[in-house]
Amino acid sequence: MKTLKVQYKGKIIHAKFTIEEKGMGLRDYYIHHKNGYSFYIFRKSEGVWRIAYGDLDEDLKESIIAALSERFG
């Protein structure tokens, strides 16, 4: 499992993530919660990052999207 550095409220969070290839260039990015059971799915569609599954605080969601965008474009 890889680690994504997320800057959130002045802290650096190291979130574990996996990537699942969906075909035709589509990938799902699974961000795993520290409890090891929960996860959130992020997806880039038409050049825009969105959360596809899960419910997160808006600030945290935007921080994760910023980190994904920086790392994967």
43 within 8 A of 26, measured Cβ to Cβ: yes
| Interatomic CA distance for residues 5 and 23, integer angstroms | 26
Q: Average pLDDT, stretch 26-50?
A: 91
Mean pLDDT computed over every residue of the chain: 93
Residue 8 has phi, psi (to 5 degrees) of -140, 120
For residue 52, give every residue at least 6 positions away whose Cβ sits within 8 Å of its Cβ, in sequence order, or none: 28, 41, 42, 43
The residue among 32 and 25 whose pLDDT is bigger is 32
Residue range 13-28, pLDDT digits in tens: 999 999 999 888 789 9
| Whole-number pLDDT of residue 49 | 95
Percent of the chain at pLDDT above 90?
78
